[in-house]
Structure 1
Amino acid sequence: MTTDSPAAASDSSASPEIQQDPRLWRKDGWTARVIKNEDDDGWAVAMIKDGEPEPALVGPWTMGRDKKNPKPLDAAAFGTLVKTASEVLRRHEQQLHAQLHKRVTVDGDHGDIDVTLDIVPDEYEPYALLTAFDAFGGQLAQQRVEPTFKLSKSAAQAWAAGGFGRVGG
């Protein structure tokens, strides 16, 4: 059942599209689509966040009572799917953040120094920023390095001991 008429959907002042069909639900920035499983005779459900080209989640879907057609989507299933797909995206973002941002703490002359490496994955010219902060969060030094630079405790300690001079990498 579609709650918005085609005329309302084309009206730019209309609320976001809500669609609740047995095999397709759209609501709150998500689309759940029940699809034929290409690997066997079963069914799958794909969860796609609005504006994303690929599904955030694809998983098996339950067969209906006739053991031939899929079970229809409902509000409870859609809510669970949105929660699960959101968690998948959150974990992916955390993993990407961990890959692109490193931090180590070393001893400096006046206390702890936090050294961070932030990789900027530019398609054409990727680079990284190596930055040193004092114990109060004040920036002591920063320099651009290769995105392949390996931040380690010993490399950070050597950079700090050398007065934050140019590092290789």
Structure 2
Amino acid sequence: MTSDINPHASLDDSADADVVHEDRLWRDKGWTCRVIKNEDDDGWAVEMTQDGEAEPALVGPWTMGRDKKNPKPLDVSAFNTLVKTASEVLRRHEQQLHATLHKQVWVDTANDRISVTLDIVPDEDDPHAMLAAESADGEPLARIRVTPAFKLNARSAAQWIESEYAKPSGS
């Protein structure tokens, strides 16, 4: 009688079930890499899509194979480089989004140095922003809701502080 138990199988084999390593498709490390026909010319392109996302994070040209008709097959080195590049693209996008939605200025007063922040909440139904102030030692001084169009700069922050944190006009 033969046994169906594989002595070389590990407990992690179920996690490896989604791993695919083919010439034009790799799925591993939370990413799917697909070599596709480039619609703009006769060449090939590669797209990197993070698991759970509908759109690729990275699309770029892909090298032709030796026959000059088919794409070069994917390999571990190319896949790892593409994962690193696509991850960097996502990281830069997140940094840019954070910079767009979060502003901070410092205002020196007679008694303290105050940090004033504007955090925009891009909600489809209720877009708004939170204007907040805190002392140099991190003590919260004020927090109010304003329109997402509020322009935070050193002058508007100083005016808000001077008004004893009254809601700015137009907010």
Structure 2-normalised TM-score? Answer: 0.90
CA distance in 1, matches of 2:109, 2:101: 25
CA distance in 1, matches of 2:152, 2:114: 14
Query: How far does residue 122 in structure 1 lie from its aligned partner after superposition?
Result: 0.5
Please identify runs of 4+ aligned residues in structure 1 that moved more than 2 A: none
CA distance in 2, matches of 1:14, 1:121: 39
Query: How far does residue 148 in structure 1 lie from its aligned partner after superposition?
Result: 0.6
Q: Does 1:142 align with 2:143?
A: yes
CA distance in 2, matches of 1:71, 1:144: 55
Q: Which residue of 2 aligns with 1:38?
A: 39
Q: Does 1:86 align with 2:87?
A: yes
Q: Which residue of 1 aligns with 2:14?
A: 14
Query: How far does residue 109 in structure 1 lie from its aligned partner after superposition?
Result: 3.5
Q: Which residue of 2 aligns with 1:6?
A: none
CA distance in 2, matches of 1:108, 1:160: 9
| Secondary structure of 1:34's aligned partner | strand
| Secondary structure of 1:60's aligned partner | strand
Aligned identity (percent) is: 62
Letter in 1 for 2:96: Q
| Secondary structure of 2:85's aligned partner | helix
- In angstroms, what is the RMSD of aligned CA positions? 1.0
| Secondary structure of 1:83's aligned partner | helix
1:42-83 Cα offsets, whole Å, 9 max, x none, are 000000000011000000000000000000000000000000
Letter in 2 for 1:30: W
Q: Which residue of 2 aligns with 1:152?
A: 153
CA distance in 2, matches of 1:52, 1:45: 16
Q: Which residue of 2 aligns with 1:56?
A: 57
> How many pairs were matched up?
157
CA distance in 1, matches of 2:102, 2:161: 19
Q: Which runs of 5+ in 2 are unaligned?
A: 1-12
Q: Which residue of 2 aligns with 1:29?
A: 30
Query: How far does residue 125 in structure 1 lie from its aligned partner after superposition?
Result: 0.8
CA distance in 1, matches of 2:61, 2:50: 18
CA distance in 2, matches of 1:31, 1:137: 43
1:68-115 Cα offsets, whole Å, 9 max, x none, are 000000000000000000000000000000000000000224210000
Query: How far does residue 162 in structure 1 lie from its aligned partner after superposition?
Result: 1.1
| Secondary structure of 2:14's aligned partner | coil
| Secondary structure of 1:15's aligned partner | helix
Q: Which residue of 1 aligns with 2:72?
A: 71
For residues 97-136 of structure 1, the aligned pairs below 5 Å read: 97-136=98-137
- Larger-Rg structure: 2
CA distance in 1, matches of 2:19, 2:88: 22
| Secondary structure of 2:84's aligned partner | helix
